[in-house]
Amino acid sequence: MQACIQALADYEREPDAVQATSEDLTRVLFGESPSVFAHVVEKAGRIVAIAIWFLNYSTWTGRNGIWLEDLFVAESERKNGYGKALLAALAAECVAQGYRRFEWSVLDWNEPSIGFYRALGATPMAEWTTMRLAGDALAALGSSLSRVARGA
């Protein structure tokens, strides 16, 4: 799975961004309280496709949904239907569990993936922008809580 994650980072032009270790993945996928789930396609003893996901929640629907964090199919295995099969498995999970939404992000330059997702019936979320806090900004905001609590 680690190799697929690195290959995805390479494809997304962020080859040095992967910090997750095998131990991290083992903990979140197989620990006492799994918080992340994965569907994989294995071929000849090698993982060739992954869908890493977790539950989200919509206050509007009052139901959980699935957030697809990463979908990756090894370049040599594309056009075999693995991506569609992984997405179909997650859609089936949504239906079986009564989840109302199945969502993910896609880079705006990734036209092949956007076309693939649209062909499956997925639609972009117009007027929505993903926001992120990380690194120093995350630390600064987190540390501001103690100042707010003190009334500073």
Residues carrying an active site annotation: 117
| Strand extents, DSSP E, 11-146 | 37-43, 46-58, 63-73, 102-104
Is 68 in a helix, a strand, or coil? strand
For the beta carbon of residue 40, count every other beta carbon within 10 angstroms: 14
Rounded to whole angstroms, the maximal C-alpha distance in the chain is 61
